[in-house]
Amino acid sequence: MEERVYPESTGHVILLGVGTVGREVMSRLHEAGARVIAIDRQPSGEARAFADGLGIAVMELDILRPGAINQVDVPGARAFIACTSDDRVNLSAALAVNDLRPTLRTVVRLNNEQLGEQLEARFPEWTVLSLPGLSSPAFVAAALAAGTLRAWRVADDVVAVLEIPIEEPSLVRSWVDVAPLYIRRESGAVEHWPPPQTPMRSGDRLGAVASARTLTALGSTDFEYGGRAAGYPHLARTVRAVSTFFADVDSRLAIVIGLAIGLAALATIVYMEAKGLHFVAALYFVITTMVTVGYGDINLAEDSDEIKLFGSALMIVSLLIFSVITAFVTNWVLSTRLSRLFGTTRTAAVDHSIVCGLGNVGTRVLAELRRTMRGATAIDPAGTGAAVSEALRSGATVVPGDARQQSAFQRANALEARSVVVATGDDMLNLEIALNAREASPRSRIVLRLFDEEFASRVRSTFDFDSVLNPAAIAAPAFADAAMGRSAVDHFTVDGQSYVYARLRVELGSLYVGATVSDFLARGFISPFALVPSVGEARFRPIPRTALRAGDTLHVICAPEAFGRLTTDDASASLSAT
């Protein structure tokens, strides 16, 4: 039975898809007080029960069927959200809605971000969002450093809010690489928006916005390797590389090399006794004989038949030994070249991150980790495929193997890893891999991806994982805010104090044109932490005297009252959630 849920309603939000992401979006829309018409071609019992708990009815409707779209009152809608797991369905539905009402605010979920940019340029009322693009910064930040609270992408960089332990007394202004937001005192008291001259003591924690480069430095973990402190990372990498080489040496090659050394030692002793040569001369004669060079300065022409036969046997056996060694070396060189194309068997990296699962999220996380740290490594069961090829092209290391097995983590050098990100598409598989990772690397941070929020809550309270992240929960606010027309990108609360993250884009003719970063600082309760100029590269922590130009985008975190002033002071400036 198909009937219209809200025949008299206006200003409602049409939500297509009540899967994992759809339910999270539905919850955010409900919290915002929006009327929701939820539709799905085959809604599950779990989805219906969830919607019933919010007082929202779910229509079983194939919106792409001719005439079906008229049952959800598109003319009276406030916004349309397509967030099923099928990109084709989302795009087809959005186009159908656009044909009926081109001016309707439309939010579309697509994994292809390049296509999304093209669609947004073609359809001004559209906002195209990618689940991997929205959620991957949180995984990257959690992998780089402990204590991250929020994470976003600024241009091609990742920034995050985290709490930094203060080990020595200092002033807030001395932390020039981060944008301070608050101080959590050792007593537990929190001071929001501290002035630059505020002193901090050992045991305090500074809440601040940091770039990926700073996160990498703050999150660097000291390991002990072979009895040596990991304060010498280059030495640790060298030792690891040597041990890795010997671990990869074929046992048959080791036997052949041992045989060659033993034969050389025996021949040296024989020639020292038979020809009365000293050690160096005898060794020189053995080497020239074994490699069949023979300079003619020493020979066996005047020696006994037994020595001549020994010399002949030495040459024949040496020829066989060095032929085998040459074959192994050739095979090693060829396999090294092939590993650059198809993956490698192990890594020598230390203080690195390991990503298990090269799906949409895992591939994005690995690529962003690769830009910020050395030795980013992935574990993939097959070691082949488009995602693996892309990872290898970016310079990442891919270790073929099953992450449920300890051997895979051993080859990925998990014992010296900074973090392990488990990001396959299966919650139970992720839990199994994460438990295996914890056993393989007790000191590494474990970042776990779980889609089921109830299950994720139980895992957080039961296991000692450092971060359990739900991509749907991370991305849902962006879908809901885009549908509601909100200009804030994100918001979060620290001990009762709300913080708003917004992107201020300066339009031509705006009063903000010519204003400096210090002008925003002077307003109070606002922290401009990044500037993306219309021309040039993005800058984290721009200097206060930097003047804004038309087309620039200033990224700020501010108090709600400061955000309200920003939205009303200059109608020519826009706060964007894109």
The CATH number for 500's domain is: 3.30.70.1450
Q: What secondary structure does DSSP assign to 199-251, as a single string?
A: EE-TT-EEEEEEEHHHHHHHT----EETTEETT-HHHHHHHHHHHHHHHHS-H
Using alpha carbons, select from 422, 425, 473, 461 the residue that is nearest to residue 444: 422
- Is position 124 within any domain? yes
- Do 336 and 386 lie in a common domain? no
Kindly state the average pLDDT of the residues 359-365: 88
- Is position 219 within any domain? no
User: Contact 552/528 with Cβ under 8 angstroms?
Assistant: no
- Do 50 and 118 lie in a common domain? yes
- Domain end among 73, 96, 129: 129
Q: How confident is the model at residue 158 (pLDDT cuts 50, 70, 90)?
A: very high
- Do 39 and 121 lie in a common domain? yes
The CATH number assigned to the domain holding 260 equals 1.10.287.70
- Domain end among 109, 129, 149: 129
Backbone φ and ψ for 422, nearest 5 degrees, come out as -105, 110
- Domain end among 98, 129, 160: 129
Distance CA 513, CA 490 (A): 25
- Do 36 and 100 lie in a common domain? yes
* Cα dihedral 174, 178, 183, 187 sign: negative
Q: What is the pLDDT of residues 499-523, one digit of tens each?
A: 999 888 888 888 888 999 998 888 8
- Is position 165 within any domain? no
- Is position 183 within any domain? no
Distance CA 556, CA 285 (A): 76
**196, containing H or E segment:** none
- Do 124 and 16 lie in a common domain? yes
Q: What is the pLDDT of residues 2-49, one digit of tens each?
A: 333 333 345 899 999 999 999 999 999 998 889 999 999 999 999 999
Q: What is the pLDDT of residues 377-388, one digit of tens each?
A: 888 886 556 777
State how many domains the chain has.
4
CB-based contacts of 496: which residues, under 8 Å, 6+ apart?
A: none
Distance CA 178, CA 378 (A): 30
Q: How confident is the model at residue 231 (pLDDT cuts 50, 70, 90)?
A: very low
Please report the pLDDT score of residue 227 as a whole number: 35
- Do 471 and 357 lie in a common domain? yes
- Is position 338 within any domain? yes
Which pairing describes strands 467-469 and 445-449: parallel, antiparallel, or unpaired?
parallel
- Is position 240 within any domain? no
Using alpha carbons, select from 446, 453, 492, 462 the residue that is nearest to residue 353: 446
The CATH number assigned to the domain holding 406 equals 3.40.50.720
Domain that holds residue 21: 12-129
Residue with tokens 């022409």: 301
- Do 337 and 362 lie in a common domain? no
Q: What is the pLDDT of residues 92-144, one digit of tens each?
A: 999 999 999 999 999 999 988 889 999 999 999 999 999 989 999 999 999 99
- Is position 198 within any domain? no
- Do 316 and 300 lie in a common domain? yes
Higher pLDDT, 443 or 7: 443
- Do 470 and 488 lie in a common domain? no
Q: What is the pLDDT of residues 518-548, one digit of tens each?
A: 988 888 899 999 999 988 899 999 999 999 9
Q: How confident is the model at residue 234 (pLDDT cuts 50, 70, 90)?
A: low
- At residue 378, the 3 state secondary structure works out as strand
- Do 446 and 466 lie in a common domain? yes
- Do 319 and 419 lie in a common domain? no
Write out the two tokens for 421: 């990100």
- Do 383 and 495 lie in a common domain? no
- Is position 201 within any domain? no
